[in-house]
């Protein structure tokens, strides 16, 4: 079985390599130092399973797993963590496999023998059940078999159209399948509802202007796009702009 080791601590990666070598029958195809690096290495090496730490800089293991779970053929994931037992209750309830550090060879061998693919639903439930659930730092877009990561801080707006949502940055736009409602819940501190079909990033709102037709429209920094503000949300958007 091809294994990718993901941990920001070099000694932890070395320890896992040694344990896997002692167990035998597996091949470590690479190492990654954080979640975004894990996604790149997964696309490069196509591992069967990731041994992935949860708490890492740049992107943690749980977020990386949610991006990977949306792949057509995602790898299996076993979390390696120093979480205390109370914090791991959510993992147990959702049948997500994990290894508690320091990792023992026998426990690692058992986990590798019974690896299974985690679903996106399982991972989201684990995130919600944590004491401090976190929002994603990136949105993943699938293009020609690859995962492109778009930093949430670069997104100017989300706009829904039928079953897809457009993600707009200053330089590009992509379609994703997330619902606008779930995006609003996840990023409520960063985006403002301006219409039933649109969320605008507060960091990029330049102002609002009345169209000759009588509709109010949001103006943005960096792009010429204008989005309509619905009657229902006009008062809230105007209050926000005047702050």
Cα–Cα nearest to 103, from 14, 182, 163, 170: 14
Percent of the chain with pLDDT over 90: 79
What is the percent of the chain where pLDDT is above 70? 99
Query: What pLDDT does 72 receive?
Result: 86
Q: How confident is the model at residue 206 (pLDDT cuts 50, 70, 90)?
A: very high
Q: List the 173-176 sheet strands across, edge first.
A: 173-176, 164-168, 157-161, 198-201, 191-195
Average pLDDT, integer, range 156-168: 95
For residues 211-221, average pLDDT? 94
Contact 210, 216 (CB under 8 A): yes
- pLDDT tens per residue, range 37-58: 999 999 999 999 999 999 999 9
pLDDT band at 87 (very low <50, low <70, confident <90, very high): confident
Determine the Cα–Cα distance for residues 216 and 136; give it in Å rounded to an integer: 31
Is the model's pLDDT at 170 over the cut of 90?
A: yes
Contacts of 129 (CB under 8 A, 6+ apart): 89, 90, 93, 94
**3-state DSSP assignment of residue 188:** coil
Read off φ and ψ for residue 110, nearest 5 degrees: -65, -40
Domains delineated in the chain: 2-129 (3.40.50.2300), 150-241 (2.40.50.1020)
What is the average pLDDT across 136-145? 91
* Residue 86: predicted pLDDT: 66
The average pLDDT across 167-177 equals 96
25 in the Ramachandran plot: left (φ > 0), alpha (ψ -120 to 50) or beta? left
SS3 229: strand
Residues 84/110/69/153 CA torsion (nearest 10 deg): 30
Residue 94 pLDDT level (bands cut at 50, 70, 90): confident
- In this prediction, residues 168-197 reach a mean pLDDT of 96
Quick one: pLDDT at residue 95?
Answer: 73
């Amino acid at each position: 079985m091809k294994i990718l080791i993901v941990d920001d601590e070099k000694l932890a990666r070395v320890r896992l390599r040694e344990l896997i070598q002692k167990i035998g029958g597996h091949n470590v195809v690479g190492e990654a130092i954080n979640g975004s690096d894990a996604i790149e290495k997964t696309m490069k090496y196509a591992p069967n399973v990731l041994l992935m730490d949860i708490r890492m800089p740049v992107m943690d293991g749980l977020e990386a797993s949610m991006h990977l779970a949306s792949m057509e053929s995602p790898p299996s994931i076993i979390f390696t963590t120093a979480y205390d037992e109370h914090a791991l209750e959510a993992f147990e309830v959702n049948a997500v496999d994990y290894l508690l550090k320091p990792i023992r060879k026998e426990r690692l061998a058992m986990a590798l023998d019974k690896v299974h693919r985690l679903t996106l639903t399982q991972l989201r439930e684990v995130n919600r059940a944590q004491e401090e659930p976190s929002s994603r730092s990136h949105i993943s877009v699938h293009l020609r078999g690859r995962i492109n990561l778009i930093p949430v801080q670069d997104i100017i707006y989300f706009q829904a159209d039928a079953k897809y949502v457009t993600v707009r940055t200053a330089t590009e736009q992509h379609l994703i399948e997330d619902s606008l409602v779930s995006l609003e819940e996840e990023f409520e501190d960063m985006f403002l509802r301006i219409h039933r079909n649109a969320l605008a990033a507060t960091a990029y709102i330049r102002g609002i202007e009345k169209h000759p037709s009588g509709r109010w429209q949001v103006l943005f920094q960096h792009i010429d796009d204008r989005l309509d503000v619905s009657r229902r949300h006009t008062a809230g958007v105007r209050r926000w702009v005047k702050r």
